[in-house]
Amino acid sequence: MSTKIIQQVRKTFDSKIPNSSNSFFCGFLQTLKRNIKIIWQYRFLLIKGFLSTLTVVSLYYFVSLLIESGIIENDGYRISSVSFIFVGIIIVEITAKTITSTLGSFQSEMRQGTFEALITTQFGLKKYVYAETFAEVVYTLVLNIVYYIPVFFIFPLLRDVSVTFSSSLTILLLLFFTFAFFTALALVGAIFTVLIKRGREISMVIIGVLLLLSGSLFPLSVFPNWLRTIAQISPLTQVVKAIRFCLFGQGIVTDSIVWHALLVLIAGSVVLFVVFQILFKSIYKRIQHKGTFHEY
C-alpha cells in the first residue's frame, strides 16, 4: 500500500472520531460502519450466506425424514433426536462463523495493508482491537440469526419447542452473556492473530476444541467419564445444555442448569479478558521491538 493511501486511511478515520483517545463508542460505530460498507460492496456474499444456511438445514431436514427419529431423555425432558441435534448444530455453526469471521477480519486488514494505517491513528491499537472485535461479533451474530429466522418457518425442525415467557427471557440472558464470552475469546484470539498473522488457523483450532466438547450432536452421557469432566468446564457446553433446557424443558434462571451456565460464561469472560490485558502489553512490545508492523 502506498504512503498516500495510508495517509488517506488515517485522515478519514481520525476525522470521523473527534477526540478519539477518549471515545471508544465513536470508534466502534465508525469501525462498524466501515465494515458494513465493505461488506455491502460484496453484497452477493450476503445472499450466498443465506443460501448456504438454507442448503445445510434443508439437507439435514430431508435426511432426517429418511431415518427413524429416536427419543432422547436429557435433563428431565424428552424430545426427538432431530430437534436435539438441530439446536446443537445452530449454536455451534453460529459460534464457528463468529470466531472465524472476527479473527479473519484482522488477517484481512494485515494483508491489505490497512491494519498499520489504522493502529497508528490517534485511536490507538488497543481501542482499535476492541472496536474491530466488538463490531465483527455484533455483525456476525445478528446476520446469522437473521439467516435462520426464515429457515424456522420453512422447515419444522423445532416442533418440540415448549417456551414460556420466563424461559424466553432466560434465553435472552444466556445469549447476552454468550455474546460477552465470544467477544472476550475473540480478543485473545485477535492478539495471537496480530502476532503470528494466522487468524483462520487459530479459529479452526478453537472451533475444533469447542465443537468436540460441546455435546452439540449427542448427549454428554455418551462421553467417557474423563472427557465428560473436561467438557463440563467448556462454556459452550454449558450454553448448549442451558439453551436446550430452556427450549424444551421451560428452564428459567433459578434452575441449576441455567445459573451454572451463566456462572461459567461470566467466569470464562472475566478470565479471557484478564488474559487479553496481560498478553496485549507484552506482545505489543515484542512486535515493536521486532519492527514487524510494516510487514503486513
Taking the alpha carbons at both ends of the chain, their separation in whole angstroms is: 10
Averaged over 122-136, what is the pLDDT? 74
pLDDT more than 70, % of the chain: 76
Residue 71 pairs in a beta bridge with 80
Averaged over 182-203, what is the pLDDT? 73
Query: What pLDDT shows up at residue 294?
Result: 43
Query: What pLDDT shows up at residue 197?
Result: 64
29 compared with 119, residue with greater pLDDT: 29
Residue 119: band (very low, low, confident or very high) from pLDDT cuts 50, 70, 90: low
Separation CA 82–CA 70 (nearest Å): 8
Query: What pLDDT shows up at residue 1?
Result: 46
> Does residue 20 surpass a pLDDT of 70?
no
Per-residue pLDDT reduced to its tens digit, 46-66: 888 888 888 888 888 888 888
Residue 23: band (very low, low, confident or very high) from pLDDT cuts 50, 70, 90: low
Query: What pLDDT shows up at residue 11?
Result: 53
Query: What pLDDT shows up at residue 106?
Result: 66
Cα dihedral 25, 27, 30, 33, rounded to 10, equals: -70
| Residue of 11, 277, 37, 19 lying closest to 123 (CA atoms) | 19
Nine-digit cell at 159? 416442533
Per-residue pLDDT reduced to its tens digit, 134-159: 878 888 888 888 888 888 888 887 77
Separation CA 280–CA 195 (nearest Å): 10
Separation CA 228–CA 232 (nearest Å): 6
Nine-digit cell at 245? 433446557
Per-residue pLDDT reduced to its tens digit, 250-276: 888 889 899 999 999 999 999 988 988
Query: What pLDDT shows up at residue 6?
Result: 47
Query: What pLDDT shows up at residue 123?
Result: 61
Separation CA 251–CA 41 (nearest Å): 42
> Does residue 90 surpass a pLDDT of 80?
yes
pTM for the full predicted model:
0.77
Phi, psi of 101 (to 5 degrees): -65, -40
What are the residue boundaries of the structural domains of the chain, listed by start?
A: 3-18+26-295
